[in-house]
Copies of this chain bind each other. A is one copy, B any other.
Amino acid sequence: MSVLVVGSIALDDVKTPAAEHKDLLGGSASYAAVAASFYGPVRLVGVVGEDFPPEHRALFNARQIDVEGLEIVPGKTFRWSGEYEENLNNRKTLSIALNVFEKFEPKLPAKWKQTEFILLGNIAPSLQLQVLKQVEHPKFIIADTMDLWINLAKADLLELLKKIDMLILNDSEVKLLTGENNLIRAGRAVLKLGPKYVIVKKGEHGALLFGAKTGEFFSTSAVPLEDIHDPTGAGDCFAGAFVGSLAQLGDTSFASLKKAVIQGTLVASFNVEEFSLRRLEKLTREEIAARETAFMQSLSIV
């Protein structure tokens, strides 16, 4: 089944202690759409400026992502610049230029309104809400968010939470949103705000999946990695591979959600091995399957 991905599309400058790269393809929708594309058809909604490089567009084409919902408007593409500290766990944003993103109003092509699996990538909750107004009969709606929106647009975010099936966010964000210091309490507190499910991403420590029904809890480790080159977009890749895998499975049982968490974990683990989407550009389904076998072995107690 098709997946609809909406979010930001950006040109990133990224600096780590080991390297620095400029004009990289970035943005929540870019990462999520490419990650989802390993599992089935993807429909991308976003906006770029006239400066958006053809090679980035070529990647969407190569991954067979449908870009009918990708607007190209006069002006410059959204730009983000960030720098990571020594351990790669902490980063600071050096600059943001919204550019064409400032007036972005997501518009779904008419024939996309019936898409069943929807990923509202990390953008302002007001924009995520605008997308929801346009979809008809969605089967499963997932939203990603970040600390910025929890701090600046909490009312919109709380309205959004009542209208989605699942929220994905990281450990510090879930504590910020709920005011709970304990991750298990925090995850469960989100369920009281509306969504039936919540995923708490913990980076190198894996992810937690909470469901509103009794017994719906799943915990997984991350893939063990010795070499991490750029953590940018790992969370977006997780969300993209999650929704892509879920759409491929075709149902939204808790068992399928768990399988999709594993796929999100796997694709995110590849993404951090190189800057931007360079690793996913080369990634094959066979590589994902091989890593899945090794990963499952590392989690197995037999």
- Residues of A bordering B, CB below 8 Å: 86-87, 181-185, 188, 202, 204-206, 208, 215, 217-221, 224-228, 255, 258-259, 262, 296-299, 301-302
Contact = CB atoms under 8 A, between A and B. Distances in A.
Given A217-B224, A221-B220, A205 B205 contact: yes
A226 B184 contact: yes
Nearest to A297: B215
Contacts of A218: 298-299, 301
Closest 6 CB pairs of A and B: A205-B205, A219-B221, A184-B224, A184-B226, A258-B301, A87-B181
Query: How many chain copies does the complex carry?
Result: 2
Given A258-B301, A301-B262, A206 B181 contact: no
Given A182-B225, A206-B219, A208-B224, 7 more contacts: A205-B206, A215-B297, A219-B221, A219-B298, A219-B299, A220-B221, A220-B299
A298 B217 contact: yes
Nearest to A87: B181
A191 B187 CA distance: 36
A302 to B, nearest CB: 7
Contacts of A182: 225-228
A17 to B, nearest CB: 10
Contact of A221 (B188, B206, B215, B228): B206
A184 to B, nearest CB: 5
Most chain B CB neighbours (cut-off 10 Å) among A202, A220, A258, A296: A220
Contacts of A258: 301-302
A69 to B, nearest CB: 33
A228 B87 CA distance: 28
A206 B205 CA distance: 8
Contacts of A220: 221, 299, 301
Given A202-B205, A205-B206, A206-B205, A184 B298 contact: no
Nearest to A294: B215
B221 A221 contact: yes
A35 B224 CA distance: 29
A299 B207 CA distance: 11
